[in-house]
Amino acid sequence: MKLHWSPRSPFVRKVMIVLHETGQADAVELVRTPVAMAEPNLTLLPDNPLIKLPTLVLDDGYSLFDSRVICEYLAWRAAERGLTLFPADPQQRVRVLRQQALGDGFMDALLLFRQERNKTEEKQTPAWLSAFALKTEATLNFLQDNAGELEQGEFDMGAVTIGCALSYLDYRFADLNWRQRAPDLARWHADVFVRRPSVAATEPAETP
């Protein structure tokens, strides 16, 4: 298999954590594929018409996207060995999918937030900055209120996705000091997520 990859994408990190958790990291060739909103990488076009990361190309040439589809595929492959990141129980599975949706949506918002913050001041849209700041605060408040769900749960796909979103906050939004407003969430992130070997192995790199 071949994974179109970037060392700093939170969505790619989701996939990388799943690869490590399920013992499949050595089965994938990592292909460094830079992408940018204003500069589409046309080399990715044959494998993904959206030109987005991550994109997984199977051995027969069939490509999978986005991170949710890729992670479920990898978890399905590992399920043969008794490894799963998605609970079989329907009620628990809905909980995990809900957490994954929240984490993915949070990362989407943060990527757009960063894009807007990186513009020169005269090109920024204040209403957009305010909206992204509101979504960030509301999501952190929600996660703080529901931190017990993470603390009592397994290291499943919901935990992976939310952990990746919080780590992206650390990486790109250190000035927001999110831990001050979400102490229970911060404790889970530090004591459970960060200590996971798969998480340590996928720390964002500073290379371009």
Are 121 and 145 within one domain? yes
pLDDT at 118: 94
Q: Quote the crossing angle between the two packed helices 67-79 and 157-172, to the nearest 10°.
A: 140
Give a yes or no: residue 152 inside a domain. Answer: yes
Q: How far is CA 159 from the centre of its chain?
A: 10
Residue where a domain terminates, one of 84, 110, 125: 84
Boundary of a domain, candidates 52, 84, 116: 84
Same domain, 187 and 106: yes
CA 47, distance to chain mean position in Å, is: 21
Number of domains within the chain: 2
Give pLDDT, residue 27: 95
* Domain CATH code at residue 181: 1.20.1050.10
96 with 192, same domain: the answer is yes
Alpha-carbon distance of 138 to 140, in angstroms, equals 5
Residues spanned by the domain of 169: 90-196
Same domain, 8 and 99: no
pLDDT of residue 208: 42
Give pLDDT, residue 206: 60
Residue 186, token pair as written in the block: 């911060």
CA distances for 122 relative to 116, 125, 178, angstroms: 11, 8, 27
In a domain, 97, yes or no: yes
How far from each other are the two terminal CA atoms of the chain, in whole angstroms?
24
Could you read off the pLDDT tens digit of each residue along the chain, which spans 208 residues? 999 999 989 999 999 999 999 999 999 999 999 998 888 899 999 999 999 999 999 999 999 999 999 999 999 999 877 678 999 999 999 999 999 999 999 999 999 999 999 999 999 999 999 999 999 999 999 999 999 999 998 999 999 999 999 999 999 999 999 999 999 999 999 999 999 999 999 998 664 4
Tell me if 138 is assigned to some domain: yes
Residue 34 lies in a domain: yes
> Of 37, 57, 84, which residue constitutes the final position of a domain?
84
Closest by CA position to 54, among listed 114, 7, 112: 7
Pair (68, 54) in one structural domain: yes
